[in-house]
Structure formats: C-alpha cells, structure tokens
Amino acid sequence: MNIDELRSLFPQTAGKVYGKPLVYLDNAATSLRPLPVVRKWEEMSLKYNSNLHRAVHFTAVAATEEYESTREAVASFIGAEFPEEIVFTSGTTQSVNLLAATLGKSFSEGDEIIISAAEHHSNIVPWQLLKDSNKLIIKVLPINEQGELRLDLLPSLLSDRTKICCVSQVSNVLGVVNPVRKIADTCHANGTLLLVDGAQGIPHVETDVRRMDCDFYAFSGHKMYAAPGTGVLYGKKHLLENLPPYMGGGEMIESVSWDKTTFAPIPRRFEAGTQNISGVPTLKPAIELIKQMRDSDLVARTSELKDWMLETMASEPGVTLYGNPHDAENKISLFSIAVDGVHHEDLALILDKMGIATRSGQMCAEPLMDSLGVTGLLRASFAPYNTMDEARYFVESLRKAVKMLR
Ligand SMILES: Cc1ncc(COP(=O)(O)O)c(C=O)c1O
C-alpha cells in the first residue's frame, strides 16, 4: 500500500478547513476514521443489528459471531494466549477504572501503588480514588530530562506492600516508548503486578503482551482507527479469573436469585449490559489496516518523517522539545514543544487558521506538566497517513506563527 492509497481510505485527509487543506496532527487525541471501519459500523448497524449473546435468531447469532470473532482478532493482534483474556470496555479510561475497582478490592490500608510521573490522568485518578477509599500509598516513578523513566529508582520504590505498578507503554506528552519488559521483570521479582496503558502504544508499536509480560494492558479503539466507545482491558487469565465483577447487570451473571447471585466466567463477568454492538467489530478492519501498514514501506516512510521532525524540533531556535530520548528508536511521531515567549494556545489558534489541527494545553497530564515546569505545551502527533509535505508545512507555519506572536 502506498501513501496515496492509504490516504484515500481516510476521506478526512482530503478535507478543508477555512478553505485550506486540513493537516490533521492531533492523532494522539483520536485518529481519523478509515472507510473499512465506517463500513463495518454501517454493516453492523444496518444489517446485523441485534443484541448479543441472548436470542437464538439468525441476526443475533450473526452479531454475536462478529463480536466474539473480534475478541479472537484482538487476542491474536496483541499476542494474548486466550480470547477470554480480552475484556471489551468503552476505552482505556474504563479499562483502568475496571481494574482499579476490582483488583483494588483486595488492597488494604498501607498497601502501595507505583505510578509513573508521565501518566495520563486516566492512569492516575482511578488509583487516587482507590487510595482515598482504601487508605493506600501512591509512589511516583520519576522521569529524566530526556523524558525516560528512571528505572534505576524503581527497585528503591518497590516494597513488600507494592501491589501494582502503572506505566504507559508510550506517554501521550513525551512520545517516549518505555522499556516495559524491564519494568515487568523488576516488578515481578518483587511480586508486584504491572499495568501498561497502551493507549498511545498500540497504534505505533508492535505489541505482544506475552513478550512484554505485563499483567494487564489497556487501550482505546478510537486511537487506532476503530470506532469511538470501544476499548480493551487485557489481563492474564489466572488474574482475571480471580477478580470480582465490576458492574452488575444483565449478561454478567450465571444465576440470579434473591438469596444468592453467581457470576459468569471471564470475560463476560466484566461485560454487564448491552455492549457496543456496532462499534466493537470495527476493531477487526482497524487491526487489518494496521497490519497492512506495517507490511508496507509506509513504516520506513513514517520513520523517516519522525527522524526529520525530531531533528528539526530538537534544533529549532527558541523551541524546547519534551521527550527526546537517548535512542530515537524509542520515540513515536509525537512532538510536544514549548516556544520561548509564546503561549501554546495562541500558537494552536494561529496554526488552526492555517489548516493545522494540533493539541495545546495540559493534555490530561497535569502532574507531568508540573514536573516539567510548564503550564501546557503544543503537541503535533502524526499518523502513517501524514506526509512529509505536511510535516514541512507544519514547521513553516509554526515559524510564521511564532513571528506573528513575538
Ligand atoms: C496515554 C493515554 N492513556 C489514556 C488515555 C485515555 O483514553 P480514552 O479517553 O480513550 O479512555 C489517553 C487519551 O488521550 C492517553 O493518551
């Protein structure tokens, strides 16, 4: 597949704003939607609309098959051993909340949780809520100046009370790929579980949960081209089997009586109520597309674009790039910058008028912004359908916007 073929699958890449071609560089917030995903959603809505797992009629069986075959496709995509290890959620946020609410029931006063300093609020706040209710202690794993996790400090943070360590595979602000396997090994040697937030990792990094050896892995469909309102919590089978239910309701039970209710086996124990019938199956064409992109020379092109952006942003006068790891391999095409004397939001507003969609502000990572000593940043996040011309246009436009504001 070449870049033109890829772009033709994403009609918004040919879109215009204010009469100018849209340059969409806000992919870390949500990716654009490709036609095969929209078509699958349409097919599920117009042809196979029926509730899941319940009725015996043709359409219900067809919809259920679509849903369950998606579970198999996701399991195979992320290297899970069993499809039952895949729990469908509405996104990363719900995945982490599910885990905190269920696993957290076994945490008692004085137990400890380690969270990296570079986490999105959705991998902080659910644990803080648990901390308050169960009187826990949260410890923070710091980052260095390049935005890399201080793994050297991890052993000193771990104790015999550390129940879980929570890190992102890739930070949504720094774009740095974290050495998850090393973190898993250190945690496991201490008897501590590891949750990896894969929201930014899954679209960019080949992910194998067994190779990473993480205990839990969370991600969102909408950041990897699938429908919004879809997501996954992966958990090792023996761990999920020992978790209590999350929400109560239809389909998550085995039997209900006034005296005693028993619960369905995993994963349905965690999927109460009517699920995202049309959305979940869109993960299948999204996965197929990611695989196709990885099998084509788009990977080399994306990496060329990343290297050019990295070099340009790191050497641009007056620009500070946050997340510039020692090894460029450990960086995705995501660039968060501060520009001397210019407010990030003013920049984003001017870039918008030039047709460029970026993100500005705290990016749901306020503690990280505090530790970087900034009130917010400007972020340009690329996807494989972005072109080198778009990258150059971004840089030229940034320079113009800075001149206008100074
Ligand atoms: C690293 C990271 N974790 C979690 C989330 C939350 O994802 P969602 O809003 O899809 O639940 C995001 C969203 O930006 C993210 O970038």
Structural domains of the chain, count: 2
Domain end point (choices 254, 289, 324) = 289
Query: pLDDT-derived band of residue 154, with 50, 70 and 90 as boundaries?
Result: very high
Q: How far is the CA of 368 from the centre of ligand 1 (A)?
A: 15
Whether 178 lines ligand 1, by a CB cut-off of 6 Å, is no
Whether 131 lines ligand 1, by a CB cut-off of 6 Å, is no
Q: How far is the CA of 120 from the centre of ligand 1 (A)?
A: 7
Q: Whose CA is nearest to atom 9 of ligand 1?
A: 93
Average pLDDT rounded to a whole number, residues 78-95: 98
122 in the same domain as 21 = no
Whether 362 lines ligand 1, by a CB cut-off of 6 Å, is no
Q: DSSP of 324-341, one letter per residue?
A: --SSGGGB-SEEEEEETT
Q: Which of 122, 74, 123, 126 is nearest to 102 (CA)?
A: 126
172 in the same domain as 127 = yes
107 pLDDT more than 90: yes
95 pLDDT more than 90: yes
285 in the same domain as 200 = yes
201 pLDDT more than 90: yes
306 in the same domain as 181 = no
Q: How far is the CA of 252 from the centre of ligand 1 (A)?
A: 26
Q: How far is the CA of 199 from the centre of ligand 1 (A)?
A: 5
Asked if 377 contacts 344 with a C-beta cutoff of 8 angstroms, the reply is yes
Give me the chain's average pLDDT, please. 97
Alpha-carbon distance values, 270 to 15, 232, 235, 241, 243 (Å): 39, 11, 12, 11, 9
Can you give the CATH number for the domain in which 88 is found? 3.40.640.10
215 in the same domain as 82 = yes
Average pLDDT rounded to a whole number, residues 155-169: 98
307 in the same domain as 253 = no
pLDDT tens track for 369-379: 999 999 999 99
385 in the same domain as 336 = yes
Active-site residue list: 364
Q: Which helix (H) or strand (E) holds 344?
A: helix 344-353
Asked if 3 contacts 297 with a C-beta cutoff of 8 angstroms, the reply is no
Domain end point (choices 242, 271, 289) = 289
268 in the same domain as 143 = yes
400 pLDDT more than 90: yes
Whether 172 lines ligand 1, by a CB cut-off of 6 Å, is yes
Instruction: Specify the ligand 1 atom closest to the Cα of 363.
Output: 14
Whether 168 lines ligand 1, by a CB cut-off of 6 Å, is yes
284 in the same domain as 163 = yes
pLDDT of residue 54: 84
pLDDT tens track for 3-62: 999 999 999 999 999 999 999 999 999 999 999 999 999 999 999 999 998 889 999 999
Q: How far is the CA of 168 from the centre of ligand 1 (A)?
A: 10
Q: How far is the CA of 227 from the centre of ligand 1 (A)?
A: 14
118 pLDDT more than 90: yes
Whether 245 lines ligand 1, by a CB cut-off of 6 Å, is no
345 in the same domain as 198 = no
Instruction: Specify the ligand 1 atom closest to the Cα of 95.
Output: 11
pLDDT of residue 392: 98
Domain end point (choices 270, 289, 308) = 289
pLDDT of residue 297: 84
**Distance in angstroms (rounded) separating the CA atoms of residues 188 and 158:** 11
138 pLDDT more than 90: yes
221 in the same domain as 122 = yes
At 378, is the secondary structure helix, strand, or coil? strand
Q: Residue 107's domain spans which residues?
A: 39-289
Average pLDDT rounded to a whole number, residues 381-397: 97
pLDDT of residue 57: 96
Whether 122 lines ligand 1, by a CB cut-off of 6 Å, is yes
Query: pLDDT-derived band of residue 299, with 50, 70 and 90 as boundaries?
Result: confident
pLDDT tens track for 300-338: 888 999 999 999 999 999 999 999 999 999 999 999 999
Can you give the CATH number for the domain in which 385 is found? 3.90.1150.10
284 in the same domain as 195 = yes
Q: Whose CA is nearest to atom 13 of ligand 1?
A: 29
Q: Whose CA is nearest to atom 12 of ligand 1?
A: 199
Whether 267 lines ligand 1, by a CB cut-off of 6 Å, is no
Instruction: Specify the ligand 1 atom closest to the Cα of 223.
Output: 10
Asked if 212 contacts 181 with a C-beta cutoff of 8 angstroms, the reply is yes
84 pLDDT more than 90: yes
Asked if 374 contacts 294 with a C-beta cutoff of 8 angstroms, the reply is no
